[in-house]
A and B are shown apart, each in its own frame.
Chain A
Amino acid sequence: MLRGDHISVRYGAATVVDDLSFHLEEGQWLMLAGPNGAGKSTLIEAIAQGVPYTGSIRWEEQELRAMKPAQLAQRIGVLSQKNSVGYAYTVDEVVGLGRYAWKSGLFSGSDDQGKQQVEKALEMTGLTELRRASMLTLSGGETQRVFLAQVFSQNPQVLILDEPANHLDLKYQQHIFSLIQQWLREPGRAVLSVVHDLSLARRYGTHAILMDHGKTVSKGLIGEVMTPENLRQVYDMDVFAWMREMLSQWKE
């Protein structure tokens, strides 16, 4: 569905993403993992056309660069790490904006399919009851759910996530991840996400790219990437031992 070849992003003299390639196929959940400063978020920004890059990123055979913003948004939806709303918009209004890319032109008429998508998105994220609430009254977890609902109503084929539940309570983390997993079950869909928490990456990912200093250290099936050797190379510690030690804290 989506493939990138030899992507590089430079900020001045610094190369943040260095000659990275990836491909994403239907049904996959590709995890971008790596320590701070590895270039994960920048790669995602490049795919979302938010930063200039060299190399090629293609949807089927089409360069993303050459696509109109609305065309891109019909295929790829992005959920950022942190979202906030400045004015007292209602949940409905924010979720409804997800349909923007599908409403072409001034006289496109009513978007009936869109209304259904919005309803479905509100339902999936459990926001139906809160649809008339002002965004300014919502908690961080609820706000993130609203933007997840927005991206669901956008109905893209690929969902790109940048640490979607990073600053949320465990309960919301679990909720958001299971919602995304449920979304992925329908045919023709794929997910690409940055996840800091390696346990979450292993739990939900099907494939992974391990990055360090903008370069690919390893990529492939999640189990083949997250090996003790690879992780030691990137994180400079015995990740497996540490994870087991953490887990042992929870044994009675």
Chain B
Amino acid sequence: MKDARLLKRERFSPLTYLALAAALLMTMILCICVGSVPIKLSDTVTAVWNALWGLPVPENIAKNIILNVRLPRVLCVTLAGAALSISGAAMQGLLRNPLADGSTMGVSSGAALGAIIAIAAGFTLPGFAYGGVMVSAMVFAFGSLMLILSLAYLLDHSLATTSIILIGVIFTMFISSIISLVITFSNDHTRSLSFWTMGSFSGVNYDQALLLCGALILCGGILIRFSPELNAFAIGEENARHIGVNIRRVKLIVLITVSVLTGVCVSIAGTVSFVGLIMPHIARMLVGPNHKRLLPASLFSGAIFLLLADLTARTLLSPIELPIGVVTSIVGAVAFVIIFYRTRKGGR
């Protein structure tokens, strides 16, 4: 009897990290090679390698496309995928809710509204023009999170799975209409409604990749540092308190960290839905629910997934580019139903 219930896998070894890293690297190279102009693998590897070590890069069209268009894009997609996925994983643990994610809870929409308002109002930070948009997105992300959680708490003190999601959906719809309103009345039409609601990585640059990288190292580091606390929350908040976790402090830090990551991602690429919902689940299947392993695994799986989604978005109907959210939402909606069904059945 008991044998059948034991989990055989000693679930995570350095080898798993290595395999994930290799898969990520391969996906990144694939995404640089494939596109409206196909580029040879050897050209890609040479160009990236030489650029990395400051060696002269052979002049041809490929160089331009690789270094000015595809590489910054692939970097941004990788980092955003990792950031969204680790945020989702942390939220799912903290709230003990397998459906929690920036997009299902309405946090991404809130961040998008913050970004749009900052753009419309011309809000900038001295010396860092784009900073205003980013900070505003972060603040709105945190505000939305607090609002949604307080509303859900009013409805139902246990913060049940369904009430949070229900409020998240309504909140997203409400915010979307405000976003349309602000865009209609603003003079800035550089970014369309579809960018904010469906996301896109078209035209991203190295500065943005650097920003994402900084945010991910800082916030990802904080979240991984809080793995034991997230494990305690995932087992149960009351139990977490009993074993000595400082509940309020941990909650506040994790929610702020997630808001910062979401804010940065949304201000750069718009709302890319469902990455943080699906990928932590895949990671959990691979390495189990312990956040010490789950968070790093989520980083890798999120990056790989978003790279493939971006590849699909820009090649499926080439030369037309789909918003990336179209791809992630189609996959995400199906995954949502499956996860919801399994939650209702009691297993996860």
B-contacting residues of A (Cβ < 8 Å)?
48-50, 68-74, 77-80, 83-90, 93-94, 97-98, 100-101, 103, 106, 129-130, 132-134, 136-138, 147, 150-151, 154
**Pairwise interchain contact B232-A100, C-beta atoms closer than 8 A:** yes
Known contacts A77-B242, A80-B242: does B228 contact A85 (CB below 8 Å)?
no
> Contact flags (1/0) for B200-236 with A, using CB distance below 8 Å?
0000000000000000000000000100100110111
**Pairwise interchain contact A130-B234, C-beta atoms closer than 8 A:** no
**Pairwise interchain contact B235-A97, C-beta atoms closer than 8 A:** yes
Determine the distance from Cα of A48 to Cα of B235 in the docked complex, in whole angstroms.
18
**Pairwise interchain contact B228-A89, C-beta atoms closer than 8 A:** no
**Pairwise interchain contact A101-B244, C-beta atoms closer than 8 A:** yes
Q: Select one of B2, B244, B290 contacting A74, CB under 8 A.
A: B244
**Pairwise interchain contact B241-A48, C-beta atoms closer than 8 A:** yes
Determine the distance from Cα of A93 to Cα of B236 in the docked complex, in whole angstroms.
13
Instruction: List the B residue with the shortest CB-CB distance to A98.
Output: B243
**Pairwise interchain contact B284-A69, C-beta atoms closer than 8 A:** no
**Pairwise interchain contact A69-B244, C-beta atoms closer than 8 A:** yes
Closest Cβ of chain A: how far from B72's Cβ, in Å? 34
> Contact flags (1/0) for B326-348 with A, using CB distance below 8 Å?
00000000000000000000011
B30 interfacial by beta-carbon distance below 8 Å: no
B114 interfacial by beta-carbon distance below 8 Å: no
**Pairwise interchain contact B288-A88, C-beta atoms closer than 8 A:** yes
Instruction: List the A residue with the shortest CB-CB distance to B294.
Output: A87
Contacts of A49 in B (CB 8 A): 241
**Pairwise interchain contact B290-A80, C-beta atoms closer than 8 A:** no
Instruction: List the A residue with the shortest CB-CB distance to B6.
Output: A132
Contacts of B232 in A (CB 8 A): 97, 100
Contacts of A151 in B (CB 8 A): 242
**Pairwise interchain contact B245-A100, C-beta atoms closer than 8 A:** yes
Q: Select one of B6, B98, B241 contacting A86, CB under 8 A.
A: B98
* Interchain pairs with CB closer than 8 A, number: 97
Closest Cβ of chain B: how far from A150's Cβ, in Å? 7
Known contacts A83-B236, A133-B6: does B245 contact A88 (CB below 8 Å)?
no
**Pairwise interchain contact A70-B238, C-beta atoms closer than 8 A:** no
B150 interfacial by beta-carbon distance below 8 Å: no
Give chain B's interface residue range (CB within 8 Å of chain A). 20 to 34
Closest Cβ of chain B: how far from A126's Cβ, in Å? 11
Closest Cβ of chain A: how far from B7's Cβ, in Å? 5
**Pairwise interchain contact A94-B235, C-beta atoms closer than 8 A:** yes
Known contacts A84-B236, A97-B232, A130-B2: does B243 contact A90 (CB below 8 Å)?
no
Q: Select one of A70, A97, A134 contacting B7, CB under 8 A.
A: A134
> Contact flags (1/0) for B154-190 with A, using CB distance below 8 Å?
0000000000000000000000000000000000000
Q: Select one of B7, B238, B243 contacting A50, CB under 8 A.
A: B238
Contacts of A68 in B (CB 8 A): 246
Contacts of B2 in A (CB 8 A): 129-130, 133
B239 interfacial by beta-carbon distance below 8 Å: yes
> Contact flags (1/0) for B1-13 with A, using CB distance below 8 Å?
0100111100000
Known contacts A87-B284, A132-B6: does B231 contact A93 (CB below 8 Å)?
yes
Supply 7 further A-B pairs (C-beta < 8 A) apart from A85-B236, A101-B244: A69-B241, A69-B247, A70-B246, A73-B242, A87-B234, A129-B2, A130-B5
Closest Cβ of chain A: how far from B251's Cβ, in Å? 13
**Pairwise interchain contact A87-B289, C-beta atoms closer than 8 A:** yes
Contacts of B63 in A (CB 8 A): none
| Interface hub of B234, B239, B246, B290 (most chain A Cβ within 10 A) | B239
Contacts of A90 in B (CB 8 A): 7, 288
Instruction: List the A residue with the shortest CB-CB distance to B231.
Output: A97
Contacts of A79 in B (CB 8 A): 242
10 contacts between A and B (CB under 8 A): A50-B241, A72-B244, A73-B244, A86-B348, A89-B289, A90-B288, A97-B232, A97-B243, A130-B5, A133-B5
**Pairwise interchain contact B242-A78, C-beta atoms closer than 8 A:** yes
B96 interfacial by beta-carbon distance below 8 Å: yes
**Pairwise interchain contact A86-B235, C-beta atoms closer than 8 A:** yes
Contacts of A69 in B (CB 8 A): 241, 244-247
**Pairwise interchain contact B239-A80, C-beta atoms closer than 8 A:** yes
| Interface hub of A74, A86, A130 (most chain B Cβ within 10 A) | A86
Determine the distance from Cα of A225 to Cα of B330 in the docked complex, in whole angstroms.
66
